[in-house]
């Protein structure tokens, strides 16, 4: 029997704000333990929360970017459970009136893992629907020792968005693409740096399997401890195989939470879900409900960036780059911005795209931080377009410019230093052509006999004589004229 997996993701995203969700402490990764804290985020007796305006606006912005419905009225609730990383032993969250509901994440081609991009089974531009996005506060971090744990409240109170997807994904690759595309959007909106290694984006996976064609969901397991997008993919691959094996051998799946072991590459039981948590949600009496129509939504609308799909379309039409190039360029907002600056003064924008996506990538696989001043790309491309250097020279200049440029020379300076001056003076060119014809009787005869390709041999001679500085196009024209006149 053929089985299919059903996957839903719960993603927690730390918002990029100056301060924490409910107090004025700095929202910053790291720091000495318990130095980014105050009575409020330590849950001292008598303290009260005050919500961070920017965190609310950034959550609404996320909702707008993901096409969610933004609630006009929303409120905060207390989610009650005891744990040493919880300063108040309740978390301020949103229960039945979240900021955003609905919406979707579109899985564009480039969001899929490279090896899956070419597969026929890959569903390009699939929409994974969202259930909701709500705003809450992060908990503290703890480190575990022999017999005891130590708690550091620096992270406690960081603004945290919870983004819950529908169980719309069917393959580990789709989960990978979902996270990649989501991360891309979050960075586009400057909502979060979404760095999984720093815990800025954290993901819990729910997965079940069922016979293909069956409507009813199987029993799901939750996977935790996923520290990278590729770990999500690998853990799902493992877990789906495991579940299919159990089911196809007539066994049943137990509802449980499993921990991913990245080194061993397998999931193992963490705890069995005996009963649902009783979180005893109730409205947070220390906070008034919010009305997003009083400026908050319109503030988020102002911050709305050009989204990846729109950017891709614009780059293709505005710069005449290929659709593939536009996709790659728009995959990261920093890259797209860089490209637009790099291509700004170029006569042939496509040349800049080629330099960036072919030549640059050949040298340096990381496009997120390019140390070269963007206008140099235009400068170099324009020299080539104007025929002042040839493409071979241009490649050489490019290589020096990006990876061997201790003097921080501009492309023009490199061209000059290299003596890459194309000779277009016809007097000199004619002299070299005459010499080539005189020395190349064989090629001349072949050409005369109708072998057009023989012209290239003569051209090569001229280039040699000119030490590569002759303009090949002009040389060709002169040679042809001279040969015809013979």
Partner 1 sequence: MSSQGIDVQYVADLARLRLSADEVATFQKQLSDILGYVDQLQKVDVSSVEAITASAPTSNNLRTDELKPSISAEEALANAPVQSDNLFIVPRMVE
Partner 2 sequence: MSMIHFSVTALRKQLAAKEISPVEVVDALLARIEAIDPQVKAYLHVDAAAAREAAKSADVTRPLGGVPIAIKDVLNVKGDPCTCASKILKGYIAPYDATTIGKLRDAGAILLGRTNMDEFAMGSSTENSSWGSTRNPWSLAHIPGGSSGGSAAAVGAHEAFAALGSDTGGSIRQPAALCGCVGLKPTYGRVSRFGLVAFASSLDQIGPFTKTVEDAALLMNVLSGHDPLDNTSSRQQVPDLTARLTGDIKGMKLGVPKEYFIEGIDPQVDAAVKAAIAKYQELGAEIVEISLPHTEHAVAVYYILATAEASANLARFDGVRYGTRAEKPTGVLDMYGRTRAEGFGPEVKRRIILGTYVLSSGYADAYYKHAQKVQELIRQDFHKAFEKVDAILTPTSPTAAFKAGERTASPLQMYLADIFTIAVNLAGVCGISLPCGFTMPEGDTPRLPIGLQIIGPNWGEETILRAGHAYEQSTGWHKELPPI
Residues that bind partner 1 (CB under 8 A): 17-19, 23-26, 32-39, 42, 50-56, 72-73, 82-85, 97, 142-153, 259, 270-271, 278, 280, 288-291, 293-296
Answer left, alpha or beta for residue 250, where phi above 0 means left and psi between -120 and 50 means alpha. left
Q: CA nearest 125: which of 327, 392, 398?
A: 327
Find the part of the chain contacting Zn ion (CB under 5 A) among 7-15, 31-39, 404-412, 425-433. Answer: 31-39
| In the complex, minimum distance from the CB of residue 23 to Zn ion, in angstroms, rounded to a whole number | 3
- Please tell me the number of Cα atoms within 13 Å of 63 on its side-chain side: 30
Q: Tokens representing 474? A: 């002009």
Find the part of the chain contacting Zn ion (CB under 5 A) among 38-46, 205-213, 299-307, 353-361. Answer: 38-46
Alpha carbons 132 and 165: distance in angstroms, whole number? 7
What is the length of the chain?
A: 486
56 binds Zn ion (CB under 5 A): no
SS3 at position 129: strand
Find the part of the chain contacting Zn ion (CB under 5 A) among 11-19, 35-43, 204-212, 247-255. Answer: 35-43
316 binds Zn ion (CB under 5 A): no
Of the pair 25, 380, the CB lying nearest partner 1 is at 25
Residue 72 touches which member of Zn ion, partner 1, partner 2, none, C-beta under 5-8 Å by kind: partner 1
- Please tell me the number of Cα atoms within 13 Å of 271 on its side-chain side: 6
| In the complex, minimum distance from the CB of residue 22 to Zn ion, in angstroms, rounded to a whole number | 8
Residue 439 touches which member of partner 2, partner 1, Zn ion, none, C-beta under 5-8 Å by kind: none
State the number of binding residues for Zn ion (CB under 5 A). 5
Of the pair 51, 472, the CB lying nearest partner 1 is at 51
Q: List contacts with partner 2 (CB under 8 A).
A: 39, 42-51, 78, 80, 82-84, 87-90, 151, 276, 278, 280-282, 285-288
Q: Tokens representing 176? A: 């990978």
**Could you give phi then psi for residue 245, rounded to 5 degrees?**
-60, -45
Alpha carbons 101 and 12: distance in angstroms, whole number? 16
Of the pair 109, 151, the CB lying nearest partner 2 is at 151
Residue 53 touches which member of partner 2, partner 1, Zn ion, none, C-beta under 5-8 Å by kind: partner 1
DSSP for 362-418?
A: HH-S--S---S-THHHHHHHHHHHTTSS-HHHHHHHHHHHHHS-TT---HHHHHHHH
Residue 90 touches which member of Zn ion, partner 1, partner 2, none, C-beta under 5-8 Å by kind: partner 2
Of the pair 87, 440, the CB lying nearest partner 2 is at 87
25 binds Zn ion (CB under 5 A): yes
| In the complex, minimum distance from the CB of residue 37 to partner 1, in angstroms, rounded to a whole number | 5
Of the pair 90, 420, the CB lying nearest partner 2 is at 90
Q: Tokens representing 196? A: 């999984």
Q: Tokens representing 340? A: 């637009």
Alpha carbons 149 and 283: distance in angstroms, whole number? 32
**Could you give phi then psi for residue 46, rounded to 5 degrees?**
90, -10
Chain positions contacting Zn ion, by CB under 5 A? 23, 25, 38, 40-41
């Amino acid at each position: 029997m053929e089985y299919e997996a059903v996957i839903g993701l719960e993603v927690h995203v730390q918002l990029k704000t100056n301060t924490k969700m409910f107090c004025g402490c700095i929202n910053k990764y790291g720091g000495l333990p318990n130095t980014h804290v105050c009575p409020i985020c330590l849950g001292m007796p008598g303290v009260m929360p005050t919500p961070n305006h920017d965190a609310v606006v950034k959550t609404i912005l996320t909702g707008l970017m993901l096409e969610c419905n933004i609630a006009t009225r929303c409120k905060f609730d207390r989610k009650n459970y005891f744990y040493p990383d919880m300063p108040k032993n309740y978390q301020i969250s949103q229960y039945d009136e979240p900021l955003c509901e609905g919406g979707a994440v579109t899985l564009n081609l480039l969001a899929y893992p490279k090896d899956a991009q070419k597969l026929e089974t890959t569903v390009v531009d699939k929409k994974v629907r969202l259930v909701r996005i709500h705003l809450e506060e992060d908990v503290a971090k703890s480190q575990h020792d022999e017999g005891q744990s130590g708690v550091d409240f620096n992270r406690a109170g960081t603004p945290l968005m919870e983004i819950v997807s529908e169980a719309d994904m069917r393959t580990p690759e789709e989960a990978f693409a979902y996270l990649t595309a989501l991360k891309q959007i979050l960075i586009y909106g400057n909502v979060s740096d979404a760095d999984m290694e720093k815990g800025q984006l954290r993901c819990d996976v729910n997965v079940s399997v069922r016979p293909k064609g069956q409507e009813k969901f199987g029993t799901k397991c939750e996977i935790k401890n996923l520290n990278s997008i590729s770990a999500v993919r690998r853990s799902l691959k493992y877990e789906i195989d495991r579940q299919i094996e159990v089911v196809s051998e007539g066994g049943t799946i137990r509802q449980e939470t499993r921990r991913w072991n990245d080194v061993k590459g397998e999931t193992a039981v963490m705890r069995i879900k005996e009963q649902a948590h009783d979180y005893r949600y109730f409205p947070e009496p220390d906070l008034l409900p919010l009305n997003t129509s009083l400026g908050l939504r319109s503030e988020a609308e102002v911050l709305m960036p050009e989204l990846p799909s729109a950017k891709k379309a614009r780059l293709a039409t505005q710069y005449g780059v290929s659709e593939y190039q536009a996709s790659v360029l728009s995959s990261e907002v920093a890259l797209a911005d860089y490209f637009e600056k790099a291509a700004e003064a170029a006569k042939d924008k496509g040349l800049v795209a080629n330099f960036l996506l072919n030549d640059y990538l050949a040298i340096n696989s990381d496009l997120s931080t390019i140390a070269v001043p963007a206008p140099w790309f235009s400068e170099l491309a324009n020299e080539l377009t104007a025929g002042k250097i040839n493409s071979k020279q241009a490649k050489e200049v490019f290589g020096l410019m990006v990876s061997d440029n201790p003097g921080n020379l501009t492309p023009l300076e490199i061209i000059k230093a290299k003596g890459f001056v194309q000779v277009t003076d016809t007097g000199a060119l004619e002299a070299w052509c005459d010499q080539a014809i005189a020395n190349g009787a064989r090629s001349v005869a072949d050409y005369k006999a109708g072998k057009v390709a023989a012209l290239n041999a003569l051209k090569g001679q001229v280039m040699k004589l000119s030490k590569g500085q002759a303009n090949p196009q002009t040389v060709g024209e002169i040679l042809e004229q001279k040969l015809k006149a013979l």
